[in-house]
Structures are given as structure tokens and as C-alpha cells.
Amino acid sequence: MILLVDIGNSRIKWALSEGAAFQEQGAATHKVVPLAEVFAAAWGVLTAPSRVLVANVAGKEMAAALRTWVTAAWNLNVEFLVPRRKACRVTNAYVEPQRLGADRWAALIGAHARVPGNVCVIDCGSAVTLDALDAKGQHLGGLIIPGLAMMQSALIQNTGDISEQAVAKGDKKVSVLARDTQGAVSGGALYTLIAVIDRVTADLAADMPAPLTRVICGGDAERLLNLLAENYLYEPDLVLHGLAIIAESTK
């Protein structure tokens, strides 16, 4: 069994994998609880896996804490995914391949294996990333934009009249036009992302000689799905599926 771990800026998702099949899965936030407690709550009762493969975009402190816990619990080394020029039939477009986010790399590999043809992967986490991939597995490049919480936080921190208290107390329902600060901030962030995602994927589809499949994942994907204009394939565990493919290829 291999423990696959997707560590974002606010959440950890994980799965125990035996080949392509997930035997057990879970998720947790890691912003307010000590990291050792997060790891223990998630994996403390698990039988020791044979490997631990991780896509981490939460920084060096997270990596160090995870190494310490895994070594103490299971006497294993943590394998942190580093994007390469080419792996699992996917070619990285970045000039410096290792600078592509590990989660984006795993998601591209997962998407190419699961969806035939041209693909745009939209990962809606703390930041929203869009990456295009052609039918041959060539990564064409991507975009990074602030996610929902990040947009709202920027408004609160950089304006005089929008306070955190006002946003927290308001109506959290989203409509086209809001009647309080919470609704205006939430709706503005949502519609910004919807407009960007729909426009970018429409432009990509127009430029490609064959149909484009739009694949969406990430913690905020479900909030966006019903508002997006085009059809999107929801793959909540895309990064983990990519990690499973990479684990199989590196036995």
C-alpha cells in the first residue's frame, strides 16, 4: 500500500492506494491545528504503508514536519514529487520544469491518463490554476489567479470600508447583485473566477483543432460548477490519481 498525499495551502487530501484503486481516503485542514496533530488524526491508526508519495505546495515548514512525523511513525522516507521535463507520457512546458507546482504536475498526469484528447485542468484551491494539455500529452502552459478566499481577503486588507466583521455578519447567499457587504464580496469573487475560467477555456477551445475537455477539481470547484457556462468534468481526486500513476511508474 502506498500513501498518496496532496498538500495544498489550506487542506491535505490523502488516499491509500493499491495500484490504481484507492482503499481509504480522507481530508483535513491544516491552518489552525498543529501539524503533528493533523497527521496523527489522519494516519495514526493506519498500518504502515510501503511508500509515502507527496505533492506539497505548502512550503518547507510543512515538508519538514511531515518528514519528522513519517520517520517517527513508520521509519520511512517521504518522497516529495518534483516536476520533470517528461513523465507518464506528459511533457512539461515550463522552461524550468521543477518550478511548475507539484500539484499541477500530478493533475496533468492524472488528466492525460483519464481523459482522451485536449484537456484544460482547472484546480480551484487557495489559488486557481488553469493548465492546457494537448492530446499527445504536451503541456501548453497555464495561468495562476487568486482563489475565492484570497480575493476576499485582499479586499478586506486593502480597503477602508470593507471590514472582516462586515463580511462575516452579512448574507452568504450569492446573487448577481448583492444587498450587503458579504454578498457583494462573495459574489464579486465568484463571478470573477467564473468569467476568467469560462473565457480562458473558450479561447483555448477556439484555438484547438479538436474538442477541448474542461476538467475541474479543488476545494472550491463545487461552488463554481453550477454557475459556469460550459460543461466541466468534475474530478475531485485528480491530483491523487496523478500521484497513483506516478507511483506505479516509479516502482
User: Could you report the per-residue pLDDT of 73-120, keeping only the tens digit for each?
Assistant: 999 999 999 999 999 999 999 999 999 999 999 999 999 999 999 999
Q: Do domains 2-80 and 117-147+187-236 have the same CATH topology?
A: yes
| Closest to 247 measured CA to CA, from 46, 35, 1, 31 | 1
Q: At 215, phi and psi to the nearest 5?
A: -115, 125
The predicted-structure confidence for 128-164, as pLDDT tens digits, reads as follows: 999 999 999 999 999 999 999 888 888 777 665 555 5
DSSP 63-81: HHHHHHHHHHHH---EEE-
Given 6, 103, 131, 237, the catalytic residue: 103
Please say if 203 is a catalytic residue: no
Domain boundaries, the chain: 2-80, 117-147+187-236
Rounded (to 5) percent helix, strand, coil in the chain: 40, 25, 35
pLDDT at 169: 45
On the question of pLDDT at 212 being above 90, the answer is yes
Place of cell 496523527: 40
Contact, 241 vs 235, CB < 8 A?
A: yes
pTM of the model: 0.92
The predicted pLDDT at position 177 comes to 81
- SS3 at position 138: strand
CATH homologous superfamily for 2-80? ATPase, nucleotide binding domain (3.30.420.40)
**What gap in Å lies between CA 52 and CA 67, rounded to an integer?**
10
Between the alpha carbon of residue 40 and those of residues 18, 46, 70, 112, 183, the distances in Å are 22, 10, 10, 33, 37
Q: Beta strands of the chain (E only): which ranges?
A: 2-7, 11-18, 21-29, 51-56, 78-80, 86-87, 90-91, 118-124, 127-133, 139-146, 212-217, 233-234
Q: Are 189 and 227 in contact (CB under 8 A)?
A: no
Instruction: Say which CATH architecture domain 117-147+187-236 belongs to.
Output: 2-Layer Sandwich (3.30)
* Cα gap 10→12, rounded to integer Å: 7
